[in-house]
């Protein structure tokens, strides 16, 4: 059950959008496809919906082979980044569209549409046209429209991408709650790791048409499979072959055999969190995340020399990452303190 | 624009002056000339059997050519915008032919095709008269007015994109339902504008229709041909009267579209 894609390949001219991609999305889960632009995440989503034909590979929705089926027969709800509102129809008619296609009777349609408008908090705006709604309202209308036909799965393509930060935050909280109520298998595409971690239980990280890793937010953050995942999911400093999270960088004033010397270039206060930017003797620029209390204890000033001690570091030795969705990093020093030579 | 008032007024004066001199004065002159001797003479000319027949024939051209070119135009625009093919540039260029080629040449080409010795001469030989008859005039009218709906619909189709159509398909609509419920309503103003231009072109067509029709009074004369015949016969009042009818028909078409649009916006 749920959604599964196996060995999906898709080429646009010279561009390999999907390169042997396989994913499993459990029934009733809320999964994020996360990756930079051009990573193939939208193409994968559109292939699941039937809006894009695969060159090869198989799509299974709720145990049923959907490969080659047209979008209209797949029973998916799709929400587009730019809403795809039917501009010439009222909010009511937009939401009722799928029901009219299915030849629902008027009273039932009306009842269902008003239920949905209540769910997305748009009751009272049924007679408006999309041009009279805000971006957030339009996207909620699009969601109601997709949900009206009781889709087997719900697919959202960067649903909050065109909205401003505040609305985006509200909507993602709201989407999470909605999912908790409805339990329809949902995949949503985003390039924003914070959004993915905030909303989704499961994450699939994509890059250059391939799946780099999948797992929960904690899995990806604590046990990244490779350099890409580590740097895409969270902030990272590179020290030679080692990768260190800024909050795993300790700053001390007395050197020892595990510290590296650095010049404090800038101290940026971001409220509770303090960002200390240093340049090492070899010119590498790194930053450490400190609390306000730590900074006060150290009495750090810009322009002074301090010493860095990585508490936890990872290295991804060996060749490029292989194995799709592998959750164990190659040759990692995962979990323990890494030995980082003082001179890199 | 941040131009200073003087240059702004200068531009306005230039624009309005140009339009007045080239468009408004000639049209007002026709109006004036028509009613110089009262309403009687022009009315007589227009309501004469030949005049009425010409009006009827012009409207017949519109009734046949406009729907055909509308259906063809929408289909062709969909093909050009939604189905990417390497033949598209060729199709695109061919559609523009009627704009590029003089109507007289179009008339002559029809003559060569359907006249004696032409490839399609057998149709006439079977007893279905095309030249010097209504079918030939319809063909000429369709030919000259073919590009308008395509040209007006293509940019609108490009602008609306495919998101709404894809949304409709994920909601269960098939191609036909998507077209009627989503695509057509979205492009309707582009199509409507194309229809208005097509109508105006068909009503006003002279060159191609003259050649294939033979301009026989009371038989194969549309309003523009009637105007010309009256003018040649020194019946200038009749010519002006019929011209005025043509201008009025064009205005009605434009007015009808405006009315529809206003109703839509309300």
Predicted confidence (pLDDT) per residue in B52-103, tens digit:
999 999 999 999 999 999 999 999 999 999 988 889 999 999 999 999 999 9
Q: Is B201 a residue whose pLDDT tops 80?
A: yes
Query: Residue A210 and residue A36: Cα distance in Å, rounded?
Result: 12
pLDDT band at B265 (very low <50, low <70, confident <90, very high): low
Distances (CA, A) of B260 to B10, B254, B256: 35, 10, 6
Contact B181 A97 (CB under 8 A): yes
Query: A142: closest CA among A187, A87, A100, A186?
Result: A87
Q: Give how far the C-alpha of residue B178 lies from the chain's centroid of Cα atoms, to the nearest Å.
A: 29
Rounded to two decimals, the ipTM of the complex is 0.81
Residue B24 DSSP symbol: I
Choose the mutation target among A101, A116, A158 for the interface with B, i.e. most B CBs under 10 Å: A101
Q: Which pLDDT value is given to residue B226?
A: 93
In chain A, % of residues over pLDDT 90? 61
Q: Which pLDDT value is given to residue A330?
A: 39
Helix ranges (H only) for chain B are 5-19, 25-34, 40-46, 49-82, 88-95, 97-100, 103-114, 121-125, 134-145, 147-160, 163-170, 175-178, 184-204, 207-213, 223-232, 236-265
Q: How far is B171 from chain A, CA to nearest CA, in Å? A: 5
- pTM of the entire structure? 0.82
**Within 13 Å of residue A7, how many CA atoms lie on the same side as its CB?**
3
Q: Which pLDDT value is given to residue A328?
A: 38
pLDDT band at B117 (very low <50, low <70, confident <90, very high): confident
Strand partners of residue A280: A262
Interface contacts (A, B; CB < 8 Å) = 60
Minimum mean pLDDT range among A8-12, A25-29, B31-35, B148-152? B31-35
What mean pLDDT is reported for chain B? 89
Q: Which pLDDT value is given to residue A95?
A: 96
Q: Which pLDDT value is given to residue B264?
A: 64
Other CB atoms closer than 10 Å to residue B48's CB: what's the count?
19
Q: How far is B173 from chain A, CA to nearest CA, in Å? A: 6
Residues of chain A below pLDDT 50: 319-344
Residue A63 DSSP symbol: T
Q: Which pLDDT value is given to residue B2?
A: 56
The answer to whether residue B117 neighbours chain A at the CB level (below 8 Å) is no
pLDDT tens-digit map of B211-242: 999 888 888 999 999 999 999 998 888 888 89
The answer to whether residue B108 neighbours chain A at the CB level (below 8 Å) is no
Residue B23 DSSP symbol: I
Closest CB to A71 among B169, B181, B182: B169
Residue A44 contacts residue A206 (beta carbons within 8 Å): yes
Strand partners of residue A83: none
């Amino acid at each position: 059950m749920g959604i599964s894609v196996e060995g999906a390949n898709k080429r646009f001219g010279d561009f390999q959008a999907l390169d042997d991609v396989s994913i499993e999305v459990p029934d009733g889960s809320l999964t994020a496809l996360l990756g930079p632009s051009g990573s193939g995440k939208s193409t994968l989503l559109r292939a699941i919906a039937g809006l894009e034909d695969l060159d090869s590979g198989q799509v299974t929705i709720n145990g049923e082979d959907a490969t080659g089926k047209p979008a209209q027969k797949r029973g998916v709800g799709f929400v587009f980044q730019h809403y795809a509102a039917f501009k010439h129809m009222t909010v009511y008619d937009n939401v009722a569209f799928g029901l009219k296609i299915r030849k629902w009777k008027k009273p039932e349609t009306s009842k269902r549409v008003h239920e949905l408008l209540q769910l997305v908090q748009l009751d009272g705006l049924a007679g408006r046209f999309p041009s009279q709604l805000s971006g957030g309202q339009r996207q909620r209308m699009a969601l109601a429209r997709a949900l009206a036909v009781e889709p087997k799965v719900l697919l959202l393509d960067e649903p909050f991408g065109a909205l401003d930060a505040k609305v985006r935050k509200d909507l993602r909280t709201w989407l999470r709650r909605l999912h908790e109520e409805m339990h329809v298998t949902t995949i949503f595409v985003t390039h924003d790791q914070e959004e993915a971690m905030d909303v989704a239980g499961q994450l699939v990280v994509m890059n250059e048409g391939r799946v780099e890793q999948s797992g929960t937010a904690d899995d990806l953050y604590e046990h990244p499979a490779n350099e890409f995942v580590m740097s895409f999911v969270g902030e990272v400093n590179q020290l030679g072959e080692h990768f260190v999270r800024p909050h795993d960088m300790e700053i001390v004033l007395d050197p020892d055999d595990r510290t590296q010397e650095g010049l404090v270039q800038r101290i940026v206060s971001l409220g509770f969190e303090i960002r200390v930017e240093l340049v090492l003797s070899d010119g590498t620029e790194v930053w450490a995340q400190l609390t306000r209390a730590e900074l006060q204890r150290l009495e750090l000033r810009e322009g002074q020399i301090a010493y860095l001690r990585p508490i936890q570091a990872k290295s991804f030795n060996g060749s490029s990452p292989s194995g799709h969705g592998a959750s164990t990093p190659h040759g990692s020093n995962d979990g323990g303190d890494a030995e980082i030579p003082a001179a890199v | 624009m941040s131009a200073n008032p003087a240059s702004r007024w200068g531009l306005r004066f230039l624009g309005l002056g140009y339009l007045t001199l080239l468009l408004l004065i000639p049209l007002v002159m026709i109006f004036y000339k028509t009613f110089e001797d009262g309403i009687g003479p022009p009315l007589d000319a227009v309501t004469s059997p030949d005049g009425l027949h010409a009006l009827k024939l012009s409207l017949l051209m519109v009734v046949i050519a406009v729907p055909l070119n509308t259906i063809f135009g929408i289909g062709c625009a969909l093909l050009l915008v939604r189905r990417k093919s390497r033949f598209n540039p060729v199709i695109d260029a061919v559609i523009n032919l009627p704009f590029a080629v003089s109507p007289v040449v179009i008339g002559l080409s029809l003559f060569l095709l359907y006249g004696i010795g032409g490839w399609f001469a057998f149709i006439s030989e079977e007893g279905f008269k095309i030249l010097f008859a209504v079918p030939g005039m319809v063909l000429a009218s369709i030919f000259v007015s073919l590009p308008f709906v395509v040209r007006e619909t293509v940019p609108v189709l490009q602008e609306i994109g495919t998101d709404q159509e894809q949304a409709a398909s994920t909601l269960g609509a098939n191609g036909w339902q998507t077209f009627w419920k989503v695509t057509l309503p979205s492009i309707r103003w582009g199509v409507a504008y194309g229809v208005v231009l097509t109508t105006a072109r068909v009503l006003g067509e002279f060159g191609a229709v003259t050649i294939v029709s033979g301009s026989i009074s009371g038989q194969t004369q549309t309003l523009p041909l009637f105007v010309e015949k009256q003018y040649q016969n020194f019946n200038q009042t009749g010519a002006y009267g019929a011209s005025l009818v043509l201008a009025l028909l064009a205005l009605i078409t434009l007015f009808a579209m405006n009315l529809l649009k206003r109703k839509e916006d309300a």
